[in-house]
Amino acid sequence: MHDHALMEGTTIVCVKRDGRVAMAGDGQVTLGAQVIKSSARKVRRIKGKDRGDVIAGFAGSTADAMTLLERFEKQLDEQHGNLLRAASALMKDWRTDKYLRRLEAMMIVADNSDVFLLSGAGDILEPENGVAAIGSGGGFAQAAAFALIAQTGLSADEIARKSIEIASKICIYTNDSIIMEAIG
């Protein structure tokens, strides 16, 4: 049985603009109708000796997301930093491994040139417009990012941060304790 309430605990947005990629996430962890923590770190920078920096953000069950993040980092090393190959290898494992296919989480991964949204359904989605968002407040953050890109000259960093701030005013599962990572 899949508990979709697990997806109602976060907001992650990734914005690619002018050669820079910024990913921001809120810090709220919710269990049912109760806030358990307000400063969780759901956006991470993954470093490697043979590759450039990669940023990753996750939504869903924390234990599931951390398992996927560890697997993704291993795949990045095995694929010598090739983001698409690492994402493809993770998706193959996620869909075929008995244990992994039960994990309930979503991820956004990005490097200097690519942004991918990864789901347990086996999806590797590349946004056409430079904005990807996941989690319960993802739609709000994504809409805010689209408007800010169209109507302002703000940087990717500023747009990512403001998008989470806007989502936090609308989504009860999102707060304004923002963690952000950027590359480029």
Tokens of 71: 């697997």
The string of DSSP letters for 37-91 reads: ES----EEEEEETTEEEEEEEEEE-HHHHHHHHHHHHHHHHHTTT-HHHHHHHHH
> Helix H segments across the chain?
62-78, 83-96, 138-151, 156-170
Q: Which of 10, 11, 30, 174 is catalytic?
A: 10
C-alpha count within 13 angstroms, C-beta hemisphere, residue 49? 1
Q: Which of 132, 134, 139 is nearest to 156 (CA)?
A: 132
Active site residue 30: no
| Active site residue ranges | 10
